[in-house]
Structure 1
């Protein structure tokens, strides 16, 4: 009994919060939120659940920490660009790519509007909005508009990708089928949607996303 206790103590001592978060991210990426259990995490880490609870309070705490780790890496990587607009574009694209690579991040951000992952994004965007010269009275509305656009589009893109994976659908084939359906819509009642059929077939998600950010940024200048 003494020998086993000492082995457990050494295992707990060697376990770190960072290693728990790293393995949690791997489980979330491979199996989604349902696959992140303390039992599965214990097996992957080769330790007991008690050792994990020493570092995190519960699954909610663990999800938030994993999400914050991804967001922190994305925001740290978004350093391209010399101007505030370029930095906003870089930050937005970094978050878009992070949620695309880790679809569960979008859901966790939606559940944690006031916690650190969201605060990191808001701070990164808000600082650059301020650097653009936006007056204090409009800072919140401007930063909020950019924040919600970035998270909304990134989240929808991730949801679309997840749908395609679950249905084993090839993106090109899927978009082609939808475009074919759109092209057959009534030319009067759905004139715009029908006219977009050809664009839908070969559009680029990241390019469209950045175009949206540029539209918002272009609208800021006249309001200054």
Structure 2
């Protein structure tokens, strides 16, 4: 099989391209580049991520990075997957399907809200890194345990994933607008319009409560759909 070239090769993910052999360059590795990218992103936000700035963070010339990563998109994909590592590595209890879905969804949301840039990037890039695939596999396994059709499993899994990403992106946007500080004029104006949370002093809990309650609403909808499918098939 021939290797893709041109636009096809450029479009391949860093996770699907053949790995290059190690290069002897003291103090520089892909792991160090990813860690420096995350430090930069946490400090300055998504617009800051460039090869030049990451190289400056490491104290090397930008051309030194290109043996380890080919382009900025590689930094994005590797950084997003890296922040999911603690959630993917944590043991998952043997729970009912809905409790497992809730747990995986909460882990994803926690990772994305710890690093708000990750949610913004994850919405524009395919999540096919090893840690993302572990979490996706846990979600798929939990939904498969329901006995639902593959179509219903796919719909439910997509709904949960989209909800997590949307909720985390909204929280990240709120933080970027200064709404993470409940005493800021922007926060007071917005919260005053939402009577249910106007007296809540901790804005982080506001977004967390929206996520928690929204997730429960979604899980309720999935249960209703599965129950209706069972009734229609005569399995109940």
Please classify the TM superposition score into its range, dividing by the shorter chain length.
Answer: 0.7 to 0.9
TM-score by length of 1: 0.76
What is the TM-score when the length of structure 2 is the normalising length?
Answer: 0.72
Structure 2 partner of 1:113 = 126
Q: Greater helix share, 1 or 2?
A: 1
1:52 to 60, 65, 88: 65
1:177 to 189, 192, 215: 189
Equivalent residue, structure 1, for 2:207: 205
How many residue pairs match? The answer is: 198
1:61 aligns to what? 74
> C-alpha root-mean-square deviation of aligned residues, in Å?
2.6
Matches of residues 71-110 of structure 1 in structure 2 within 5 Å?
A: 71-77=84-90, 79=92, 82-110=95-123
- What runs of 5+ residues in structure 2 fail to find an aligned partner? 1-22, 227-236
Distance 2:113 2:156 in 1: 24
The CA deviation at 1:141 is: 0.7
TM superposition shift of 1:175: 4.3
Distance 1:216 1:17, change over 3 A: same
Over alpha carbons, which structure has the higher Rg?
A: 1
Deviation sequence 1:155-187 (CA, Å, 0-9, x none): 11111111117xxx732554443344x3xxxxx
Q: In the TM superposition, what is the alpha-carbon distance from 1:73 to its structure 2 partner? A: 2.8
CA contact (8 A) 1:126 1:139 kept: yes
